[in-house]
Structure 1
Amino acid sequence: MSDPSTPLTTAAPLAVTTTPWSLGPITLPHRVVMGSMHTGLEVHDDGGAGMAAFYRERAAGGAALLITGGIAVNDEARGGPDFAVFGVGDTDDRFRTAVDAVHAEGGAVLAQLFHAGRYALVAGLTDRNGAPQRAVAPSPLPWAAARGVVPEALTHDEVLRTIEDFADAARAARDIGFDGVEIMASEGYLVNQFCSPLTNQRDDAWGGDPERRRRFAVEVARAVRSAVPDLAVTIRLSGVDLMPRSSSPEDVDALVRDLLPTGIDGISVGVGWHESRVPTVQAAVPHGVWLSYVERIARVVRSSDRPDVRVLASNRMTDLRDVEAVLERGLVDAVALARPFLADPSIVGTSLRGRFDLVTTCIGCNQACLDRSIVGQPVSCLVNPRAAREVAFPVRPTAEPKRIDVVGGGPAGLAAAVDAARRGHRVRLWERADELGGQFGLASRIPGKEDYAGPVRSAHAELVERGAEVLLGRTATAADLADSDGVVLASGVVPRTVTIPGADLPHVITYEQALRHGVPAGSVAVIGGGGIGVDTAAFLVESPDESRRAAEFDERWGLDGFDGLVGDLPQREPAAARTLRPGPDVTVLRRSGKFGQGVGITSRWVALGRLRDAGVRFIGGVREYVGIEPGVLRILDEDGTPVAVPADTVVLCAGQEASSDLASELAATGVPFAVVGGARDARSVDAVRATTEALEAVRRLAP
């Protein structure tokens, strides 16, 4: 990483981003922060090697300031079994290894001090003494995901002890070597719970009116500041809880004013609670839509007696050009990106060289990160399956370059080809279509999923840069691959054929035809209500204009002050030209299972909610598709009642079939090969599985 004392030079578009700044005692060369992400690496029994490799790669890639995932301040603060606590076992040594790795690359790192409160999932957990872990909160109010566990209300003495636990954790962080700490006081965790009338129903020194509800947060900040006077101290607040009858904007502003005299160095602004029914970080959330809440807090700070306290923005910004657009407005000091650092550890360094074309964009899918984190599974990244697995999959130049062929230019094929090329193997990528992308290319045409084009674009650019052969419009044969040292067969899927009478009529098309070429005006019946069917319906009824969608999002959720920033951000790939139609003109049908099945757990409810808001009709439990006629799809519903569904166009989204005809031919040649992703198993189009299998396969074929 660059010397923090030396201003970075880059092209004009990042002029503000590359302005040096300070956070307490830390001097930093640019204004991009790697925000906190819970990875599960914090508790790995590996001496800290996994954490060290994860953080080292991102510091080496240009991250000047990194913030760890939440570290519980005591046993009962853990959110689940994969949360670490300072002082337990070899935890401190593991973190020391990670901190040393960041410092070796010239970076600085803050420890996020965390208490889950009533969000703790304690089933089956024990504390360090073997006793069952209890859940605690300001008041004994459970939340839905706690599986019936009612938290115990902290007593007055326990509140004081918890405040001191935050201070002790800060001291431990200092002793380990951290450059500072961040107090987690947002997203509905314990500190946030004390501030909200929804979760704090006390009537004592710690609740009963807004001032007393704010006291816990203020005392935690004061205690932490006192414990580590020589370190940077920040606090992460929710600019808006997005919970009915929770803290008002005036309450949040008053909290900010109360916190400033405690001596904190910075305020990082998040949004929402985990139980909020307003989407906050999903791909469907427009870029920059939360900025007004950050800027409101920044105005409070700037008009105070401590206008130099730093304010950091976060949430739904994925590109350093997004960062620049935010910083140019002049109120925010820095921007914290989290998931973009999973997608591309070198996002900062690559962008500062002006090579935005090589940045692997976070697509906001949540499938391998948040969706896994909330159920305690190992975190990684769909578009970067090495993320949080750097020890198992190091990137080292190979001593014995091999000829590696990859058949298929979708997400799996691109993952395999890029990994092999980075390690110095001779790569040929075969794609029968005239463009790369596969399912990602189609997904990028869905409103809200334009970012899916980014990883395809960057993979293509990197392959060309590294001298790989990218053969478009070429269907690979066994003869073409006879000289290969290894083949990754990632040829993906094709739409499943259906046997419905009338399926051969000209107004019956596949989802690929619909997404590539649009659909004529009129009513549409979408046969198949899985993830692809839901995406197709969104394509039909939602605007491709991100600025318009942002304004609609703001109005739909009653938000405060979207002012058109999205229009100033880098424009995503436009969706295919098409005729938008009212939602009631679209009917999505499926035989069994959940609508949107296959969509990630943190995104499915958002996707379905958008369609229901638009008036899209859903028919589940279809007993039989009787036949397709001009203008109508005839079915028997779950009761066996005949129903005529209006259908000027019928779009088939009835599943996929593997496209792997080449496998048997390769087996006969003796060329080593592996079949991955949808080509191996098309029962569910799971891009996380596909890219992970591709990475593992190419490492077996070309270590």
Structure 2
Amino acid sequence: MTVAAPDTAVATVASPWTLGPLHLPNRVVMGSMHTGLEVHDDGGVGMAAFYRERAAGGAACIITGGIAISDGARGGPDFAVFGVDGADERFRLAVEAVHESGGTILAQLFHAGRYALVAGMTDRHGAPQRAVAPSALPWAAARGVVPTELTGAEVEQTIADFAAAARSARDIGFDGVEIMASEGYLINQFASPLTNLRDDEWGGSAAARRRFPVEVVRAVRAAVPDLAVTIRLSGADLMPGSSTDDDVDALVHELLPLGLDGISVGIGWHESRTPTVQAAVPHGAWLSYAERIARVVRASDHPDVRVIASNRMTDLRDGEAVLADGLIDAVALARPFLADPEIVSRSLGGRFDLVNTCIGCNQACLDRSIIGQPVSCLVNPRAAREVAFPARPTAEPKRVDVVGGGPAGLAAAVDAARRGHRVTLWEATDTLGGQFGLAALVPGKEDYAATIRAARTELHDRGATVHLGRAATAADLADSEAVVLAAGVVPRLVDIAGADLPHVRSYEQALREGVPDGTVAIIGGGGIGVDTAAFLTESPDEVVRAAEFAARWDLAVATEVVGDLPQRQPTALRTLRPGDQVTVLRRSGKFGQGVGLTSRWVALGRLRDAGVRMVGGVQEYLRIEPGALWIRDEDGAERMVPADNVVICAGQEQAIDTDGDDPTGLVSGLQAAGVPYAVVGGARDARSVDAVRATSEALEAVRALAP
């Protein structure tokens, strides 16, 4: 692990500390993330490469994705179990990689309980896997599967399985274990009156419900007396009728004498209707729950047990604000390590401008993990694909030209520059960022600007040439050795009578220039339409939004890290209006289509709370007049929608036509000159703006053209 002398802005984060027997150089823990690499049939090479980069980048302590303590504990088919299908050797390779890079690593011991998605799953003997739980209560995503209530003997066996898994972790070489008792998984289920309806020694009272987590910790500590042992505990379940703060605090009191080294504070259940990890959640919103638990610990007979705060911290300056008063010992960041494996080393060296910040979109990480797809990262498409796209310098530097400075173009240009190619980036507008630049103007999405900033900084530092306000010509590219065409998209025009009136504008104009006072009709209810409605109705001030979030969900939202960083300040003038002045319309499909699985419901809920009207099933947009948009509604009736302003969010078109008639002559020119090229992202397919696809295609293209 190589980390520069700490910047004074993160002096506390950079200070050493101990976690049980572990002596750690800084106070940043890489939180648990399920990647799917745990079960890859590659001998563990991919998982080792993934963890190696994060350890080398400065993560003081890494927590693995959940490792099921038994076949029946798996959350899905892509969960590993010690001792099954070569898992031990895969994890041994990962542990060795972390240690070689100077880091430490803990195995997270996991049991899904009723959250197990068992459809089509079998155990190692080929028998169908059953979901088990404290009580036979299903949850919505289980598709009607009712879990089997554990018998008393099975409860005892499960405790023994936790202890056995801890011993396996020790034998493999892990530095410790984390017991997963948060986010609504089995241990959390036992502690909650919502999911534990038992009337035996494992339920029936608050004290009896606490017995299972207490016995698991007792057994694990006894199994590995020489390792670090931590627990991931739910600070609040965010489920009406579940454990109260007093219940959680009582559990903490019972756990402290058992030899725990640390408590990592999680938040919320997966089925909670309170947003917890989406971009709309204020930065550091959940800190107060970790602080409450820390006060319980400090006032106890075991005040030295470490308390680790987590969730919605994306910048180590956030961590500094959290740690400054000494109540919290460390911060756990998860998704930020997907976005930038070097977040620690860059930040401690004062290079905050180089950090590729997590934007909280969830599209390539959480959304994929939920459905069992390989996890990666929108802003870092190499994440969890380090073996396929190694970081080593190229053996043959080439001239690489990238046309377009949006997310796809930046991804291609940065990757090529990092590997030593001679990079020239051509952007027809005066600013980098493309669709990301527009997204950064939407309340809650300000962090999108950080990706642009990081790319711009890195290209400058690596000597790349960036042309702004200059559309590339075929002549410019004639001597190139590899061209990535990532010119992106432009708003699609609509054929509606009155679309040329002065009160009609594209979503790009609306976001960049604002929209005058009065009612607004938004034509198009996909992701861009939803974002535009949020732009019109929500405050650009994160402090204001944090207060609104706290009031909406009746929560104690912390303000220590809200609105404190430059990239989070308002970047556009806008006229805010009551939600009932905004109407979003679409012909068919779901409102917010294109927004990620775990974020769509949050985005739509915010608009509904604001009073925004959403009109679906529009048969036809008839005409636009001053003050009105006329439509034919789903019943075939002609209807007027108030519209002092109309914003067109009806999709996108390719900025350059790479398939048919190309007035720029780029494609034909490259073909005539024999220059290798690839078309990626929206320039290849503008039917949907999919930034995950765009950045991934860009990485794959530039690696193929310029290895």
Same-fold status (TM-score > 0.5): yes
- How many Å separate the matches in 2 of 1:667 and 1:660? 16
Of residues 662, 668, 671, the one that matches 2:672 is 668
Number of corresponding residues:
699
Alpha carbons 1:73, 1:115 under 8 Å: kept: yes
> Secondary structure in 2 aligned to 1:635?
strand
Number of the residue aligned with 1:501: 497
In the other structure, the counterpart of 1:698 is: 702
Q: Does 1:14 align with 2:10?
A: yes
CA distance in 1 between counterparts of 2:258 and 2:290 reads 20
CA distance in 1, matches of 2:400, 2:671: 16
C-alpha distance in structure 2 between counterparts of 1:671 and 1:2, whole Å: 40
In the alignment, which residue of structure 2 is the partner of 1:30?
A: 26
Whether 1:471 aligns to 2:467 is yes
Structure 1 residue 490 corresponds to structure 2 residue 486: yes
Structure 2 residue 37 is matched with structure 1 residue 41: yes
Matches within 5 A, 1:172-321: 172-321=168-317
Q: 1:577 aligns with which of 554, 573, 579?
A: 573
Question: Shift of residue 572 of structure 1?
Answer: 1.2
1:391 is matched by which residue type in structure 2?
V
Which 5+ residue runs of structure 2 have no aligned equivalent? 658-665
Q: 1:222 to 1:466 in 2, by over 3 A?
A: same
Whole-angstrom distance in 2 between the partners of 1:374 and 1:575? 34
Q: Hey, what does 1:54 align to over in structure 2?
A: 50
- Structure 1 residue 562, shift from structure 2 partner: 3.6
Q: Residue 376 of structure 1 corresponds to which residue in structure 2? A: 372
Question: 2-side partners of 1:565 and 1:422: how far apart?
Answer: 32
Matches within 5 A, 1:390-539: 390-539=386-535
Q: Matched residue of 1:233: which SS? A: strand
Displacement after TM superposition at 1:669 (Å): 2.9
Q: What amino acid is aligned across from residue 163 of structure 2 in structure 1?
A: A
The 3-state SS of whatever aligns with 1:113 is: strand
Letter in 1 for 2:313: M
Letter in 1 for 2:162: F
CA contact under 8 A between 1:206 and 1:213: conserved in structure 2?
Answer: yes
Per-residue displacement from partner, 1:61-111 (whole Å, max 9, x unpaired)?
Answer: 111210000000000000000000001121101100000000001100000
State the distance in 2 between where 1:241 and 1:145 align. Answer: 18
Q: Post-superposition shift, 1:668?
A: 3.2
In 1, Cα distance between equivalents of 2:527 and 2:425: 28
The AA in structure 1 aligned to 2:356 is T
Deviations 1:153-183 (A, max 9, x none): 0000000000000000000000000000000
**Which one of the candidate residues 681, 688, 697 is aligned to 1:684?**
688
Structure 1 Cα separation of the partners of residues 671 and 503 of structure 2: 40
CA–CA distance in structure 1, aligned partners of residues 259 and 394 of structure 2? 51
State how far apart, in whole Å, the 1-side matches of 2:532 and 2:172 are. Answer: 51
Contact 2:284 2:559 in 1 (8 A): no
Q: 2:96 aligns with which of 100, 114, 123?
A: 100
Q: Contact (CA 8 Å) 1:663, 1:675: kept in 2 or not? A: no
| Alpha-carbon shift at residue 288 of structure 1 (Å) | 1.1
1:323 to partner: Cα distance: 0.4
Tell me which residue corresponds to 1:72. Answer: 68
Contact 2:20/2:228 (8 A) holds in 1: yes
User: C-alpha separation between the residues in 2 aligned to 1:359 and 1:465?
Assistant: 13
Number of the residue aligned with 1:127 = 123
1:671 CA displacement: 1.1
Q: Report the 3-state secondary structure (helix = DSSP H, G, I; strand = E; otherwise coil) of the residue aligned with 1:538.
A: helix
Contact 1:126/1:133 (CA < 8 Å) preserved in 2?
Answer: yes
Runs of 4+ in 1 over 3 A off after TM superposition: 561-565, 567-571
**Offset at residue 339 of structure 1 (A):** 0.2
Q: 1 CA distance for matches of 2:453 and 2:529?
A: 25
Instruction: Mark the CA change 1:664 to 1:639 in structure 2 (over 3 Å): closer, same or farther.
Output: farther
Q: 1:648 aligns with which of 635, 644, 648?
A: 644
TM-score, normalised via structure 1 length:
0.98
Counterparts of 2:419 and 2:567 in 1: how far apart (Å)? 32
Distance in 2 of aligned mates of 1:220 and 1:86: 18
**TM-score normalised by L of structure 2:** 0.98
In 1, the alpha carbon distance for the partners of 2:535 and 2:627 equals 20
> Are the counterparts in 2 of residues 136 and 151 from structure 1 also a CA contact under 8 Å?
yes
Gaps of at least 5 residues in structure 1 are none
Instruction: State the identity as a percent.
Output: 78
Whether contact under 8 Å (2:322, 2:560) holds in the other structure is no
CA distance in 1, matches of 2:396, 2:569: 39
1:659 positional shift: 1.8
